[in-house]
Structure 1
Amino acid sequence: MNLKIKLITVALILNFICSILMAIININLGLIVMIIGMIVVPLLINTFSFIVGQGNRSILNVFIMSIFNLIYYIITSNSVMHNTKFKEVLAKYSYEKGDFFIHMNANLTALSQLIFIFLFYFVISFLVMKLFRKSVHA
């Protein structure tokens, strides 16, 4: 199998499997578990895909993998937002005192969130790709 296709296929399959698992696990997730499940896992999938698809690391591959990661994020976010315990998590991590307040956005799929998360996945994956490229040539 062509290394480029292998890289993208591995990323797609792993993102799909993790999306299903996060939808099934839709239980009382703490904030740390939500962050790990929605943000860190896709980056680990990308890293694993770079290891499996050894020779073909291009910016197009990173872009395609970031789109898969974004789809995973949307599926997982919808699952988390429809969890009955999500409002409790929002309330638990919100703080307000006078003019100072910290709160989580209740809409995890807002356009600004999606743009930020796509750029986050893309930049981190690109840096990981560059790191693997340098380690291969060293």
Structure 2
Amino acid sequence: MPGTHSERDDMRKFLTVGAVVAATAAAALLPAGPAAPSSAPASAAAVCAIDHFCLYEFSNGTGRRGSYVKGTDDVKRQNLPSARSAWNRTNEYWCVWSKDDYMGTRVIIQPNEGLKDLRGDFRSALPASAIHC
């Protein structure tokens, strides 16, 4: 009958509102689009603190990690036999060398470059503000 309000109508409204709320909640849990690629490695050992320069034993930020703010003349002091990847989370350039005491082949790592495979074994590192770099 027109103009009357039945329990059936109340139930339909309740179910419709409930379905909309449930669908909205489910949609909020889904990602909006494809995930943005991350420059951070997936390994838990690979986490490098902000304002630090990190060296990793193996490529892709895996293996043992050494974390630096002032550099090192020998990564073995941080229990790294050598480093094969680096993650620069500082605002300055860093230099890495293939030998101890800032000798051998030098590679320069850009500020905030993200994870970088070094394509070789490196054994010492300094920020660009240091005299040797």
TM-score (norm 1): 0.23
More strand by share: 2
Q: Find the structure with the greater CA-based Rg.
A: 2
More helix by share: 1
